[in-house]
């Protein structure tokens, strides 16, 4: 059983519940049909026993009169022959009659009505047996006149007619019961047939219904699986596309990153190289702004002035440099130099003086070159060459 709360439990599945209900109904119908069939079977067995019993009763009943007739026939023979063997024969026959009466009495013992009906028959038979015994006694006694008188009186006796009537009536009663029991059995058989057929038909319908439900559910599940598979394939395709896009983007970014790092190192390398070039020049080099403030100086300039870059950067060049003819740094006229930058032309090889940190001044040869960026003067480069002292 799934432990995932999002999945339906065993009895939470609607289709499964319906199928189970169908099978429960099928089982119920089956059980009902079996119960009814068993009940009808029991009744059929009981009916069959009763029918056998009734047939046995009728058979014995039918045999009573012939047996009586045979016994009275033997009596008549004895009356004629007076033979002991005939006497024995008539006694055997009446004994047989008595046994048959006992059998019928036993067969009717279960029904008070039948018992009562047969009691009348048994009474007549008993009278006939008593008559036969009286006749036999008279014959043995040899009193022929008494015997003749008795026989004459007996001839008007209606016992035979009475017996026949009683037996017929009893027989008809039993036959009527057999007929009604036959009809009941037929009805019962029909009922059982329709019960079985109906139950079978109902079960088949329920089975078809359950099969339809299962088929319907399977179709729905297959459709859902197909849709899920399609969604999965679409998702995988999108993932693949996205992966390709991301891979391409990643490759582009990696290449871009490499280009950026390359450009950065190229700039750094170029700056470093340019600085190296300027720092390697033996002449003092000052880079100035358009206003003639110092923005950079090379090691040769440091050596010449004795000042560190921190002392002169962003200070006017006029603080340490003046043209020859000027009275000194305080009165330096940088009009020619400033004009050079403004006008954008060079000034070469002019005499000038540099003030050192120690307070001395050093003669130099001055050149000024405008710095151009896209034809616009953005500053200048001032190069000072030390003038060697004149040897005498």
CA distance 270 to 249: 31
Q: How far is the CB of 249 from another protein (least distance, A)?
A: 15
Q: How far is the CB of 260 from another protein (least distance, A)?
A: 10
Q: How far is the CB of 236 from another protein (least distance, A)?
A: 28
Options 81-89, 94-102, 200-208, 267-275: segment touching another protein (CB under 8 A) = 267-275
Report the residue from 223, 270, 295, 333 that binds another protein according to the rule CB under 8 A.
270
Q: How far is the CB of 272 from another protein (least distance, A)?
A: 9
Report the residue from 248, 273, 333, 344 that binds another protein according to the rule CB under 8 A.
273
Q: How far is the CB of 372 from another protein (least distance, A)?
A: 17
CA torsion angle 241 245 250 251 (round to 10): 100
| End-to-end Cα spacing for the chain | 118
Q: Residue 261 interacts with another protein (CB under 8 A)?
A: yes
Interface map 42-81 toward another protein (x if CB under 8 A): ----------------------------------------
Q: Residue 255 interacts with another protein (CB under 8 A)?
A: yes
Q: Residue 279 interacts with another protein (CB under 8 A)?
A: no
Closest-CA residue to 365 (of 344, 388, 334): 388
Q: Residue 246 interacts with another protein (CB under 8 A)?
A: no
CA distance 348 to 143: 207
Residue 286: C-alpha distances to residues 305, 321, 361 (Å): 11, 11, 17
Report the residue from 253, 267, 281, 342 that binds another protein according to the rule CB under 8 A.
267
Q: Is 328 helix (H, G, I), strand (E, B) or coil?
A: coil
Residue 391: C-alpha distances to residues 354, 364, 387, 388 (Å): 20, 16, 12, 9
Q: How far is the CB of 251 from another protein (least distance, A)?
A: 8
Report the residue from 259, 279, 308, 346 that binds another protein according to the rule CB under 8 A.
259
Phi then psi for residue 299, to 5 deg, are -55, -35
Report the residue from 39, 269, 348, 357 that binds another protein according to the rule CB under 8 A.
269
Cβ proximity to another protein: between 137 and 265 the closer is 265
Q: Residue 250 interacts with another protein (CB under 8 A)?
A: no
Query: Cβ contacts of residue 137 below 8 Å, gap of 6+?
Result: none
Options 116-124, 242-250, 268-276, 328-336: segment touching another protein (CB under 8 A) = 268-276
Cβ proximity to another protein: between 52 and 247 the closer is 247
Q: How far is the CB of 266 from another protein (least distance, A)?
A: 4
CA distance 86 to 92: 10
* Site size with another protein, rule: CB under 8 A: 14
CB atoms within 10 A of CB 357: 12
Q: Residue 339 interacts with another protein (CB under 8 A)?
A: no
Options 20-28, 132-140, 262-270, 318-326: segment touching another protein (CB under 8 A) = 262-270
Which helix (H) or strand (E) element contains residue 151? helix 144-155
Q: Is 123 helix (H, G, I), strand (E, B) or coil?
A: helix
Q: What is the 3-state secondary structure (H, E, C) of 221-283?
A: HHHHHHHHHHHHHHHHHHHHHHHHHHHHHHHHHHHHHHHHHHHHHHHHHHHHHHHHHHHHCCC
Q: Count CA within 13 A, CB hemisphere, residue 171.
A: 14
Cβ proximity to another protein: between 95 and 277 the closer is 277
- The binding site for another protein (CB under 8 A) comprises 251, 254-255, 258-259, 261-263, 265-267, 269-270, 273
């Amino acid at each position: 059983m799934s432990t995932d709360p999002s999945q339906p439990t065993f009895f939470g599945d609607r289709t499964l519940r319906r199928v189970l209900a169908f099978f429960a109904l099928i089982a119920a119908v089956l059980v009902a049909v079996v119960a009814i069939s068993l009940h009808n079977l029991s009744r059929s067995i009981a009916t069959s026993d009763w029918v056998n019993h009734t047939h046995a009763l009728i058979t014995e009943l039918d045999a009573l009169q012939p047996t009586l007739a045979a016994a009275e026939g033997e009596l008549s023979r004895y009356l004629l022959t007076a033979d002991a063997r005939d006497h024995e024969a008539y006694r055997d026959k009446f004994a047989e009659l008595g046994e048959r009466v006992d059998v019928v009495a036993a067969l009717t013992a279960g029904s008070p009505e039948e018992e009562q009906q047969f009691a009348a028959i048994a009474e007549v038979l008993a009278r006939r047996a008593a008559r036969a015994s009286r006749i036999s006694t008279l014959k043995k006694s040899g009193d022929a006149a008494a015997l003749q008188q008795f026989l004459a009186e007996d001839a008007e006796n209606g016992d035979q007619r009475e017996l026949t009537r009683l037996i017929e009536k009893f027989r008809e009663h039993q036959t009527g019961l057999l007929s009604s029991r036959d009809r009941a059995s037929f009805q019962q058989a029909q009922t059982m047939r329709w019960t079985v057929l109906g139950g079978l038909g109902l079960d088949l319908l329920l089975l078809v219904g359950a099969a339809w439900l299962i088929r319907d559910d399977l179709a729905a599940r297959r459709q859902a699986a197909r849709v899920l598979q399609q969604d999965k394939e679409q998702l995988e395709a999108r993932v693949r596309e996205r992966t390709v896009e991301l891979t391409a983007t990643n490759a582009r970014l990696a290449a871009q990153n490499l280009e950026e790092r390359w450009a950065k190192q190229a700039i750094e390398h170029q700056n470093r190289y340019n600085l190296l070039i300027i720092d390697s020049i033996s002449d003092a080099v000052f880079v100035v702004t358009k206003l003639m403030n110092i923005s950079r100086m090379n090691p040769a300039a440091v050596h010449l002035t004795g000042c560190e870059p921190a002392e002169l950067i962003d200070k006017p060049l006029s603080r340490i440099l003046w043209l020859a003819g000027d009275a000194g740094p305080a009165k330096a006229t940088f009009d020619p130099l400033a004009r050079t930058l403004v006008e954008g032309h060079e000034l070469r090889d002019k005499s000038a003086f540099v003030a050192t940190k120690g307070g001395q001044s050093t003669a130099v040869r001055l050149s000024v070159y405008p710095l151009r960026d896209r034809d616009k003067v953005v500053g200048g480069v001032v190069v000072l060459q030390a003038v060697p002292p004149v040897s005498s």
